[in-house]
Chain A
Amino acid sequence: SQQGEEDPQALSIQEGENATMNCSYKTSINNLQWYRQNSGRGLVHLILIRSNEREKHSGRLRVTLDTSKKSSSLLITASRAADTASYFCATDPSGYSTLTFGKGTMLLVSP
């Protein structure tokens, strides 16, 4: 069963625009990670945010975490065509078990 659920399922934007994806989860977590998957490839880790952190930045990526709402968001600023990919959030429901991945948001950035 899925712990994290991404929203929206698909997102289409123009280059230069910002893209925001959301992840909701059901039980308390230790940390939350975001991964990217280019078509036909394996997943690549983007960023990890700990349960005691509210916001984290990495280059054009900004991740927020709201543990009271059990949700996280991933913002990609000034999107590029190369950002076209699927984005997954991953959590470990109890902090002592394995990662559970959501179904992903498919992002299409058009030139």
Chain B
Amino acid sequence: NAGVTQTPKFQVLKTGQSMTLQCAQDMNHNSMYWYRQDPGMGLRLIYYSASEGTTDKGEVPNGYNVSRLNKREFSLRLESAAPSQTSVYFCASSGFLPTSTDTQYFGPGTRLTVL
């Protein structure tokens, strides 16, 4: 059981480049999430998917797109990277609900630097 896996672990982009962060979970969870973590800002929700086939915006969705490819996989795409998107990105999943009723399980994170 790998839990939640993320690729890549590190990435450096130039302004304007695009990239996709990959996330997969093997716990048969319905809900999946993408967060970003900046120093002194805690975690902020970018997008989430409460179930396969649905996606919703979180607190900071601008500049990002997501795809819930199937129940296991949830990807985050930066179409035109900006320095303000330099951050650590975490993927998470939970069994049934996006609310505090359910525990979230986190991946190890992707450190992204945009020059």
Contact = CB atoms under 8 A, between A and B. Distances in A.
A82 to B, nearest CB: 18
A91 interface: yes
Contacts of A97: 98-99
B69 interface: no
Interface in B38-93: 40-45, 48, 58-59, 90, 92
A48 B106 CA distance: 16
Interface string A5-48: 00000000000000000000000011111010000111111001
A48 B4 contact: no
Interface residues of A, number: 29
A42 to B, nearest CB: 3
Nearest to B88: A40
A31 B100 contact: yes
B1 interface: no
Contacts of B100: 29-33, 48, 90-92, 95, 99
Given A30-B100, A92-B99, A43 B90 contact: yes
B41 A48 contact: no
A107 B67 CA distance: 36
Interface in A78-111: 88, 90-92, 95-104
Given A30-B99, A100-B59, 20 more contacts: A1-B59, A29-B100, A31-B100, A33-B100, A40-B109, A41-B109, A43-B43, A43-B90, A43-B92, A45-B103, A88-B43, A90-B100, A91-B100, A92-B100, A92-B101, A95-B99, A99-B98, A99-B100, A100-B45, A101-B35
Interface of A: 1-2, 29-33, 35, 40-45, 48, 88, 90-92, 95-104
